[in-house]
Every structure is written in C-alpha cells, then in structure tokens.
Amino acid sequence: MNALPDCQTLLLESHNGVLHITLNRPESRNAMSLHMVAELRAVLAAVRDDRAVRALVIGGAGGHFCAGGDIKDMASARAQGPDAYRELNRAFGALLQEVQHAPQVVITVLQGAVLGGGLGLACVSDVALADHLAQFGLPETSLGVLPAQIAPFVVQRIGLTQARRLALTAARFDGTQARRMGLVHFVEHDAQALAERLDEILAHVLCCAPGANATTKKLLLASAGQPSDALLDDAAQWFSEAVTGAEGIEGTMAFVQKRKPGWAS
C-alpha cells in the first residue's frame, strides 16, 4: 500500500486489502469541515492507483456518521464574502465526485446522524449499510440554503420523485425507510449485526478481481450518466447566493442560536 497522509480529522486503519476510514470529529457528530474534506480527498488520491487497496469502508466515530457541513466554516466564509461560500461548497462536490469515481469498492456504514453532506456520501457509495435507527435527512432548506452539491447525487441514487419530497420538506427518515427508497442496501438492528454484514460484503468483494471491479464500476457509472462539473459549478454559485441572502443569514443564525427561523415561527 502507498503511504497514507497524516490526518487530524480521520482515523485510518488498513487490513487485508481494506482501508477503513473513520470520520473522527465526534464532538460535532462528525460534521464535515473543510479540513476533513481536504483530508478525505488526500486519502482518496493516495490510494487511487493502488490495486492492493480493494475496498474503502467509511464510517463515523462516536455513534454518528456525519451531521452535514460544519457551521463554523460557514461563519468563517461569511467574513470572506460570496466567493468563499462558492469555493467551500464546490470543494465538497469535488469530494463527492472523487468518492463516486474511486476505483475501489466504497462501503458506507451509517449510524446516528446521516444528514446533508453525510447523506451525500451515502449516495456515492457502492454499498451502504445502515442501523435501523440512523436518522437521514436533507435539512438545508430549513436553514435557508440549498443541498447544492448533494442534490444531483441524491437524484441519481433514489430518483427525482423521492429527492423532491425529501429536499423540499427537510423530512427526517430512518434506516428502514432509507432501504425502501433504495438509498441503502442493508439495514441491521445492532452494531454486531452491522459488523457481521460488513464482513460478509467484504468477503464477496475480495472474491472479485480488483482491476475488473475498477473497470466495471467505471462502465456502470458511465452507463447511468453523471452529475457534471458545469452543474456542480452552477450549484456552488446558487449556494453562495442563497447563504449570503436574507434567508440564508436568518437560517444559519437561527441554527446557531438554537431557535426556529422566522419563516417557521
């Protein structure tokens, strides 16, 4: 295996051709900071051409997968202006594209909060396992902003009809509902069952030739069509406009102040 980067927001463990990547900001329910995005992208780059790495397993520390974007990054971007919001948002879209196109089999293990960007990561995994009590959702519009980089991948995963309902209501749903709509493949009722299911899936993955898997994945993604760079660039611009507008300012401030925004009072 190639040398992996040193990481502050991720725990990395390699075993038997499988790289386990744990999002490790439990104090924020593993909210996706720019630092975490950069570290994830660096890890993906380090293993992209390494066929000794057969699978990537992404999970979260502290009983949660990922609660979405880090509100502290939003506050920092506010001081820098609209361009900073656009670049912050687009960086996450680039991460989703890179996970989607990783030549390894990408498996997500979903527990606790699977919100916003966390749901986006689940949507670009090849195999998704969930605890039945995991809480999924796209809360962005309830904060006055958009699921800008996530939306195209959600539509691709579960279809336009379900994506419209979830994004336009910010509704929460559990692991069982996520399986019904095709977002996840397996739902288990405890950590032990999740671990056993993961072992079963990895055993199947390791029966497949890594080069054949990589090319087959490329073929399948090309057959399905992909969210384009142009669309994600536009989405980042729309996100910047939303978050710097009146609704975005009110929604993010309401979140920080733990109150309902004006439109929901």
The CA-based angle 168-58-189, given to 5 degrees, is: 75
For residue 230, with 0-12 CB atoms within 10 Å meaning exposed, 13-18 middle and 19 or more buried, which class applies? exposed
pLDDT at residue 46 in the model: 97
Neighbouring CB atoms inside 10 A of 202's CB total 20
Strand partners for 113: 135
Q: Are 231 and 152 in contact (CB under 8 A)?
A: yes
Whether pTM > 0.85 for this model: the answer is: yes
Cα dist from 21 to 27, 36, 55, 107, whole Å: 17, 11, 11, 10
DSSP string, 59-105: EEGGG-SB-SB-HHHHHHHHHH-HHHHHHHHHHHHHHHHHHHT-SSE
Rounded Cα distance, 231 and 1, in Å: 35
Q: What are phi and psi of 121, to 5 degrees?
A: -60, -40
Which has the closest alpha carbon to 194: 136, 131, 106? 131
pLDDT at residue 1 in the model: 67
CATH of domain 10-206: 3.90.226.10
Dihedral sign, CA of 220, 225, 228, 232?
Answer: negative
Which has the closest alpha carbon to 151: 141, 143, 6, 142? 141
What are the domain boundaries of the chain? 10-206, 209-257
| Per-residue confidence in pLDDT tens, the chain, 265 aa | 678 999 999 999 999 999 999 999 999 999 999 999 999 999 999 999 999 999 999 999 999 999 998 877 777 777 787 888 888 889 999 999 999 999 999 999 999 999 999 999 999 999 999 999 999 999 999 999 999 999 999 999 999 999 999 999 999 999 999 999 999 999 999 999 999 999 999 999 999 989 999 999 999 998 888 788 888 888 888 878 887 888 888 888 888 888 988 878 6
